[in-house]
Every structure is written in C-alpha cells, then in structure tokens.
Structure 1
Amino acid sequence: MLKIISVDVLDSTQLYLKEKILSKELVPPVAISAQLQTDGIGSRGNGWNSYSGNLFLSFALPLQDLPNDLKLESASIYFSFILKETLANFGSKVWIKWPNDFYIEEKKIGGMITNIVGKNLLCGVGINLIQAPVEFNTLDIKIDKKKLLQEYFRNIEKKVLWKQVFSKYKLEFEDKKSFSTHINGIKMSLESAILGDDGSLIINGERIYSLR
C-alpha cells in the first residue's frame, strides 16, 4: 500500500513532495499529509486558506501504475471523484463541480490540482474538514483523517477504469448544470455545456480541459 507520511506543518504539501521526488529522497507511490499548511496552492493559481485540522494532502503515483484507459487530462477528475465516492461511503453528500471542486450544497469545500513530475503524477488536495472562511463550506460529516486516507488509497489501488468513473461523474454533471464554473478566468454557465468522454468541456464550440 502507498506510504503516507504525516507532518505537523508545511508551507505546501505539493511543493514539498515535488522537491523530494526530484531530489530522489522520496520515491512514488507516496503521500504527504499535513495538519496545517501555511502557503497552499489552490485552483487557477490562487492560494488556499488553511486552518489546522483540515485536509492538506499531496500524493504521487508512477504514470505506469495508472489505469490503462486514463488520459492525463482526465486525471484530476478521476482522482477527485474517487475521493468524492470515498467520502460518500462515510455518509457525506459531497458533490463535484466541473472539473474537480468539492462542494457541499452550494459552497465549495475544497479542490484538487494535478501536475506531472518526471514519470509521476502529482496530486494535491485540500478539503475543509472542520473550519472554513465565510464564503466557503465545511464537510458535512465528522471523519477521522487517518481512516479517510487509508480508505481513499485503498480505493485508488483498485485501479478502477476511467470509463467506469466517468459514467458516474457524467450523471452528476448533468444533474448540476444549473451551476457556473470559471473558464479562462471568466465565470460561465454550464447549462449549454457538453461533457466529452475524456472529461473535457465543450462550450460555445470550444473544447476545454481542466488544466489543473
């Protein structure tokens, strides 16, 4: 099973893990979880506000270990949805807004970003488990972080095919089309958007990938 390293405080789990992989001090598959993150990276290059006890996680997997039908441009959706289903199995009503933002009702509680580091996929996740800024929300259940991570990585190791994950993701996408998302820095409605089989969004005649 993937090795999970827990620390008290880091500037950024994403940058820390990237540095350790490049220096060969850590070899994937591996994960870093921090109790507090002081300089986190959010979507679209924004910062991510940190409160102690929330989920600050980054993990790296060798590209060769990913499901055979998973394209890299679909990776953030794939791993976000597996985490969403893991949380749902614990009783949460969390849902995902395209491409990979975690929501409770109408407010965001977290998100995921992905990068390629060498021959590895690096994923960073932040979720408000216990506290959030006013404009955001927190997870709707109480959960033990260690138990959550163990179950999440157990589900990842099943290497469920992308097409199986996507079929469920697409149903949720169609159900939540009343919401908007940010595309190239512009807030756009999803009402007329079409979801491609690779997780891309076709809107106003343009195909857009998450690029996160």
Structure 2
Amino acid sequence: MKTLYFNTLPSTQLYLKEQLKNQALDTPVAVITDMQTAGVGSRDNSWTSNAGNLFLSFAIDVDELPYDLKLESASIYFSYILKETLNEFGSKVFLKWPNDLYIEDKKIGGMITNIVNNKLICGVGVNLIAAPKGFHSLDITINREILIKKYFVNIEKKVLWKQVFSKYKLEFEKNKEFFTHSDGKKISLASSSLEDDGCLNVNGERIYSRR
C-alpha cells in the first residue's frame, strides 16, 4: 500500500477523499499525519488531536474487499481487525459496536468509513500516548509505524467477513452496558442482539451503522 506521511493536516480523511475525487491518488493508498487540526469523528464530531497519536486514513478499491463483505459491515470489519492487531501486541482493547475502540468504559479510538468513486475510505484515530478529558489512551506502548505495518499485513490477508463476524459475535456481550445512536436517538444496547450482516436488532428493529 502506498503511504503518504505529513507533519500536519486538517484531516487525513478529508485530504484523502479530496485526492480520490480529483483522481490525484489511486488505491490502495494511506495517509498518515503527526498532527491533525480538524479531525472528523463519528456523528460529525471533531476528533481532538494530540501529537504522537495515530491519525490514519486508507483507501481500498471496493472490488478488492473480501467477497462476502457488505459495505454496511465495513466499519465493523476493519475496526475488528485493528482491535485484533492491538490485541496481538498485548492490549485489552475491545470493539464497541460498530466502530469504537474501548478499554474498560473509556473510548480510546474509532473509525469512520466513506465511499468515493467506488473506493472505500477508512479514517482511523487512536489515542496512542495521550487522551483528552473523558477519553483514555492505549494501555500498551507501541511504535506507530510498527502498528500500522502489522495492521496492513492483517488487512491484506483478506480474512472473510464470516470469520471476523463469528469472533466478534462471541465478544458482543461486552457491548450490553453501553449505548449507541441512531437517527439522533440514544439507544441502549442492553437488549440488543447482533445479526449476521453486522446490524443490531433492538426490540425487533434492525439498526445499521452509518459510519
């Protein structure tokens, strides 16, 4: 994967989206910056920047995704592979549906996905060394470049969705004490279940990730 490094960017995701729209870059490609001044989080929230944390966006052609991966499941798929990568290095991080990385009851990072010109863009933010108030940083010390390299190696294995989902479903109970948001509403995950395509079933209503 071609990788571009910057000292600072407003947002790796917005930069990559613009470059792909203008066909200035092609997939597979990744953008990494040391400092991000206007990062984009879930539900259009800002992702506060601290120097030394992970600010990464990468793009893959949709046709290169595992054959059984539906786009609505992409956030779970790539977030779970990142979670597993961090676990390999000794972290106790887990995945809160659909794309938030947590340690105990505090968020340490997350991912959002977009489609541009048949390219899937994944924007990743992880508090590797520092966290703003209300968040946590990673529970292990790890070199950013080593983490990214291992993550991309794991992505390139093209593990099938059904394999990722079967493991995530076993861990889903950790979600039950949390909430998610849908159409501006805060929804408890206490009575939710996970469907085979990665959506939530909450009292008979199917809720899909829009990130």
Q: Does the alignment pair 1:137 with 2:164?
A: no
Match for residue 117 of structure 2? 118
The structural deviation recorded for 1:22 is 1.5
- Given residue 28 of structure 1, which amino acid in structure 2 is its aligned partner? T
Kindly state the Cα deviation for residue 179 of structure 1 after the two structures are TM-superposed. Answer: 2.1
Aligned partner of 2:89 in structure 1 is 90
Amino acid at match of 2:114: N
Deviation at 1:205, TM superposition (A): 2.1
Q: Which piece of structure 1 moves more, 60-69 or 200-209?
A: 200-209
Distance 2:120 2:180 in 1: 25
Distance 2:113 2:98 in 1: 12
1:48-59 → structure 2 map (5 Å cutoff): 48-59=47-58
Aligned AA for 1:183? S
Alpha-carbon separation, structure 2, partners of 1:158 and 1:63: 15
Q: What CA distance in whole angstroms lies between the structure 2 residues aligned with 1:15 and 1:152? A: 21
SS at match of 2:84: helix
- Whole-angstrom distance in 1 between the partners of 2:136 and 2:182: 22
Matched, 1:109 2:87: no
What residue in structure 1 maps to residue 37 of structure 2? 38
- State the 1:87 CA deviation: 0.5
Aligned-residue CA RMSD in angstroms?
0.9
2:68 alignment partner, SS class: coil
Residue matched to 1:174? 173
User: Which blocks of at least 5 consecutive residues in structure 1 are unaligned?
Assistant: none
Note the 1:2-21 alignment, pairs <5 A.
2-21=1-20
SS at match of 2:98: coil
Q: What corresponds to 1:155 in structure 2? A: 154
TM-score, L = length of structure 2: 0.97
Query: How far is 1:25 from its partner?
Result: 1.5
Give how far 1:172 is off. Answer: 1.2
Deviation at 1:193, TM superposition (A): 0.6
The alignment partner of 2:165 has SS state of helix
Q: Does 2:90 align with 1:127?
A: no
- The answer for the alignment partner of 1:75 in structure 2 is 74
Cα distance in 1, alignment partners of residues 45 and 190 from structure 2 = 26
Q: Distance in 1 between matches of 2:154 and 2:54?
A: 18
TM-score (norm 1): 0.97
Uncovered stretches (5+) of structure 2, i.e. residues with no partner: none
Count residues with an aligned counterpart.
Answer: 211
Question: How high is the sequence identity, in percent, across the aligned residues?
Answer: 64
